[in-house]
Each structure stands twice: as C-alpha cells, then as structure tokens.
C-alpha cells in the first residue's frame, strides 16, 4: 500500500544521499518516513484506515509517536500531531536496547547495548544443542506429523485449489470457551479469529508468554480482571470480559467466528471466500 502511494506521488519519502526511504519493518514494528506536510499526512491516514479495514486490527496511537527534524517549526509539529492524533516523540529513541538519533552516532551512546550483546553471547554455549539431538528432534517431528512427508506439488490442480481454499477458511475459525483446558492463550483464536500472537497492539507479549493455557486467566470460574489488566490493554480486557464462560463442564470447541451462531454452511463459505477474493483485488487496484 505504501509503495503504491509513493509510485503515484501521493507520499514523498525521505531522501538521504540519493537513497529514498519510505518505511522500515522489524517484527511487528514499522517506521514510516514522510514529508511533514498536511497533504502527505492525509494520505498516510488513508493507508492506516485501509489497513485497519482489511485486517480488523486497530492502530494503537498511545504507543505511536511522531518525530520531526530539528529544523521543523513548532507550529507545524503541533499541526501534524493534532491531525494524526499521535503525540510527538523526543530523540534519542531507545529501540531493542539501541539509542537511535537523527545524527552521527557516538560510541558512548551504544556502550550499554554492546555490554548486553557480549553477555548474551557468553550464555550461548550453555544452551547449544548437539547435532545428534537436532536429528532426533527433526525425526520425531516428522513421525508426529505425517503430512510433513506430503508433497503437494504431485497433486492435481483441483486438489491444490481446494487445499488453498481450506487454508483461507481456517482464518474464519474461532475457539468457543468451555472448560478452558485445551485453549492456548497465544496460539488459539479465542477472542476473535486472530490469535493473540498475531496482535501487534494491546498485548504485553513479554508477560503473556509466561502463561500457556486459558485456564490460568480464571479465578473461581470467572475472569481474573486484575491479571487481565496486567497482560492486555483496556479495550482488549473489555472484549475478553464479554466472553461467556459456561458454569457447566463443557468442552472447548471450534466454531465459525464470523457470525453469532458459530455455524458454517456452503453459502457462508462461498460468500466468505468471494469477499476475500474481492478484497485482494481491491488492494491490487489501490
């Protein structure tokens, strides 16, 4: 989406020594470089809105910041921040232990990061896995998953198409909470059709990874609100507390997460796949 806006001249990227930089991705973080102008900011908002519409995700403006060069007037800074509804950030930025500044980086700014890397490398030897153990792990994985040997390239085009559509339909599945013994907090889609490990915002992944099963989030068959607020943002906690938890011992089960009844038939599957195809075409055109 960003590249298409640049090719049409809707967004003007940052230029340094003849190199144009529009955006940088790392994990679930993104840095976007645009000229500090209201027109370009409006085009940036169009990209944000289209992303939210197609992914059913929200941009966490509380975690986002806008950074300006030192030559930018204060009036323009205030105007851009109010327009984007994002606060202004202050250099240096600390990201993954490194200090990021809009000028030449000096050694004294990075000493702390170097010490951390040296300490981390020193612990690698104790965690190394031998080659024999690696082979054992790979073989056990293949034996546990028979489909690991399955070569899809030898199947017919009709089977490949069917397999592709099934993978798309899986994106609409959701786990309905029952006795909460089988649901994984991070890997299973139990709040919506998107698992928590794919949520870029509203989730404290560092703390969530300490818990495995959904049953750990309950206190006497009710949601542990204090723990939820420690792990998730307020909007996400509100959604979780609305999930009904049955008093009886009912097993967790898979349902269709895109309607209230949780059921799917041929008509629903067809409309869902057609909507997906139309969305992909719309993105290609835009």
On whether residue 139 sits in a domain, the answer given is no
Is it the case that residue 255 has pLDDT exceeding 60? yes
**Shared domain check, 281 and 163:** yes
**Mean pLDDT score of the chain, rounded to an integer?**
78
On whether residue 83 sits in a domain, the answer given is yes
Instruction: Please count the structural domains in the chain.
Output: 2
Please count the other Cβ atoms lying within 10 Å of the Cβ belonging to residue 231: 22
Instruction: Check residue 222 and give its pLDDT.
Output: 84
Angle at 214 between CA 210 and CA 218, to 5 degrees: 100
Residue in 35, 21, 47, 24 with CA at minimum distance from that of residue 80 = 35
**Shared domain check, 275 and 175:** yes
Render the burial of 261-286: b for 16+ CB within 10 Å, e for the rest: eeebeeebbeebeeeeeeeeeeeeee
**Shared domain check, 163 and 103:** no
Asked which of 112, 134, 167 is the last residue of a domain, the reply is 112
**Shared domain check, 279 and 192:** yes
Highest mean pLDDT among 98-102, 150-154, 207-211: 207-211
Q: Is 81 helix (H, G, I), strand (E, B) or coil?
A: helix
Q: For the residues 220-249, what does the mean pLDDT come to? A: 85
Asked which of 86, 112, 138 is the last residue of a domain, the reply is 112
On whether residue 144 sits in a domain, the answer given is no
On whether residue 12 sits in a domain, the answer given is yes
**Shared domain check, 87 and 7:** yes
Instruction: Check residue 147 and give its pLDDT.
Output: 47
Instruction: Check residue 98 and give its pLDDT.
Output: 72
Q: For the residues 60-66, what does the mean pLDDT come to? A: 86
**Shared domain check, 68 and 162:** no
**Shared domain check, 233 and 164:** yes
On whether residue 266 sits in a domain, the answer given is yes
Higher pLDDT, 285 or 188: 188
CA distance between the termini of the chain: 7
Structural domain including 57 reads 2-112
Dihedrals φ, ψ of 251, to 5°?
-75, 150
**Shared domain check, 254 and 178:** yes
Band (121; pLDDT cuts 50, 70, 90): confident
**Shared domain check, 99 and 177:** no
**How much is the pTM?**
0.41
Q: For the residues 90-110, what does the mean pLDDT come to? A: 73
On whether residue 130 sits in a domain, the answer given is no
On whether residue 124 sits in a domain, the answer given is no
**Shared domain check, 103 and 22:** yes
Q: Retrieve residue 196's tokens.
A: 């928590």
Instruction: Give the whole-angstrom CA distance, residue 219 versus residue 207.
Output: 18
Quote the distance between the C-alpha of residue 18 and its chain's center. Answer: 32
Asked which of 112, 145, 176 is the last residue of a domain, the reply is 112
**Shared domain check, 83 and 170:** no
Instruction: Give the whole-angstrom CA distance, residue 193 versus residue 185.
Output: 13
Q: Are 169 and 273 in contact (CB under 8 A)?
A: yes
On whether residue 142 sits in a domain, the answer given is no
What is the share, in percent, of the chain residues with pLDDT greater than 90?
Answer: 0
Band (106; pLDDT cuts 50, 70, 90): low
């Amino acid at each position: 989406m960003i590249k298409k806006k640049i090719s049409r001249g809707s967004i003007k990227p940052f230029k340094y020594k003849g190199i144009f930089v529009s955006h940088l991705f790392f994990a679930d973080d993104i840095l976007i470089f645009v000229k500090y102008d209201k027109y370009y900011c409006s085009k940036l908002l169009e990209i944000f809105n289209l992303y939210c519409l197609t992914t059913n995700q929200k941009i966490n403006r509380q975690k986002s910041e806008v950074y300006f060069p030192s030559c930018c007037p204060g009036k323009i800074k205030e105007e851009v921040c109010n327009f984007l509804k994002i606060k202004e950030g202050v250099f240096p930025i600390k990201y993954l232990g490194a200090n990021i500044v809009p000028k030449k980086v000096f050694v004294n700014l990075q000493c702390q990061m170097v010490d951390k890397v040296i300490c981390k490398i020193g612990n690698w030897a104790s965690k190394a896995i031998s080659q024999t153990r690696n082979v054992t792990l790979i073989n056990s994985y293949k034996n546990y998953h028979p489909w690991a040997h399955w070569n899809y390239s030898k199947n017919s085009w009709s089977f490949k198409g069917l397999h592709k559509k099934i993978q798309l339909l899986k994106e609409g599945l959701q786990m309905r909470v029952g006795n909460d013994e089988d649901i994984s907090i991070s890997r299973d889609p139990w709040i919506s059709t998107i698992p928590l490990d794919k949520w870029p915002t509203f989730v404290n992944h560092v703390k969530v990874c300490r818990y495995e099963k959904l049953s750990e989030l309950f206190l006497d068959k009710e949601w542990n609100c204090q723990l939820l607020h420690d792990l998730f943002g307020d909007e996400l906690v509100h959604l979780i507390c609305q999930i009904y938890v049955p008093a009886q011992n009912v097993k967790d089960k898979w349902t269709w997460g895109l309607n209230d009844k949780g059921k799917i038939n041929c008509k629903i599957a067809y409309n869902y796949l057609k909507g997906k195809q139309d969305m992909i075409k719309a993105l290609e055109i835009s």
